[in-house]
Amino acid sequence: MRFVNIFIWLTLALILARLAAELWLASLNRRHVLAHAGEIPPAFRDIIDGPTYKKSVAYTLAKARFGDIENICSTAVLLIVLFSGVLPWLFNLFSNEFGVTVWAMTAYLLAIGSGMSLLDLPFDWVSQFRLEEKFGFNTTTQKIWWLDRLKGLLLALVLGYPLLVFVLKIVEWTGAWWWLWAWVVLLVFQFLMLVLAPVLIMPLFNKFTPLPDGSLREQLLALARRTQFRAQSIQLMDGSKRSRHSNAFFAGFGRFRKIVLFDTLVQQLSGSELEAVLAHEIGHYKKRHILKMMAFSAASSLAGLFLLSVLARQDWFYRAFGFVPGNVAPALLLFGLLAGTITFWLSPFIHWRSRRFEYQADAFAAQVMNEAQPLIGALRKLNEKNLSNLMPHPFYSGFYYSHPTLLEREQALAGKA
């Protein structure tokens, strides 16, 4: 019993420590941004005008304030869910009504997950229709927004329910080594999603059309040939029906790979700048960043499932949150709720690695383009159009940013010129 109490207090301390760190980093970043809010820093005077810079500062501060409120509320919800007894109460309710079959336990897990998602809806709505609307980014309608949530819920049920049932069945079939077999199943599922999502799932949310014939298409296809990058097609995605933010990415796998450009990106950048952005994305592929990230994700999943298998054998892990030991479903649920508290502290390492990849992809793009200026021009426009925080505190960006700041990227590219 004493160890149960120690684990309860340790869990509480870790959750509150994460919240404290989030609020401290946000405060640090806010003060840093405000210290440079008076006038445009010299490094950016040729990039952005005064009104746009003030708007970017206001956007950064507004997101920070909203983020603080969201973090406090989500932490409060997590603490209530974990320590109020509602989880074991619902578990007993499901067990008494439907039994402890894998079908019933999967329904229990999805019910809790859906409930937690519903609690996030007000924050998502305010973010889209108040914060993003205020700064001119929102282009979606209430109908599209709610339909997106409904489609997401239905997909979670259609895909998540059979997957979770299979995982729980594996626990029954394979005994102590269930975590290894579950990992294999999850890897196969993720691979199938890489292949099938661009064909079956993504079109449920967005419209994809081939990039029209013309100089831009030929320019981008010539880049693909020059870099020996095989792609089935170049497609435009109607991202503008939801937001004025922009992006580019690859979809699919192997010979089914497609290059996807947001229509907002095509509207914002010149032909050479779009070519540089695509060269950057191809750089990720050529430097095997995607494979490395997939390998890291697979290794992390394996470690996580092994840790879960260990915790699922510990009576104190169940009793700390009011469960009776014996069923793996509560352990799976608790692990999912607590995992973010642990992985939060790994964020600096994960993002440091991601930023290294971004520098390497930038260097590849500059080499392929024979100059850095097109990519620099694209980065400047994207930072301006997205009202990015041009002056984040180094601690804040180091902890949260998966991409280097604009100034860091320009300095690195200047060294490659």
Catalytic one of 273, 281, 384, 410: 281
The number of beta carbons lying within 10 Å of the beta carbon of residue 284 is 21
148 annotated active-site? no
What's the CA angle centered on 197, arms 192 and 201, to 5 degrees? 135
Q: Which one from 132, 273, 275, 362 is the annotated catalytic residue? A: 362
The edge-to-edge listing of strands for the beta sheet with 233-237 is 208-210, 233-237, 258-262, 248-251
Amino acid identity at 220: L
- Judge whether 281 counts as a catalytic residue: yes
Dihedral over alpha carbons 29, 31, 33, 38 (to 10 degrees):
180
3-state secondary structure the chain: CHHHHHHHHHHHHHHHHHHHHHHHHHHHHHHHHHHCCCCCCHHHCCCCCHHHHHHHHHHHHHHHHHHHHHHHHHHHHHHHHHHCCHHHHHHHHHHHHHCCCHHHHHHHHHHHHHHHHHHHHHHHHHHHHHHHHHCCCECCCHHHHHHHHHHHHHHHHHHHHHHHHHHHHHHHHHHHHHHHHHHHHHHHHHHHHHHHHHHHHHHHCCCEEECCCCHHHHHHHHHHHHCCCCCCEEEEECHHHCECCCCEEEECCHHHCEEEEEHHHHHHCCHHHHHHHHHHHHHHHHCCHHHHHHHHHHHHHHHHHHHHHHHCCCHHHHHCCCCCCCCHHHHHHHHHHHHHHHHHHHHHHHHHHHHHHHHHHHHHHHHHHCCCHHHHHHHHHHHHHCCCCCCCCHHHHHHHCCCCCHHHHHHHHHHHC
CB contact at 8 A, 259 and 235: yes
- Catalytic sites, residue numbers: 281, 362
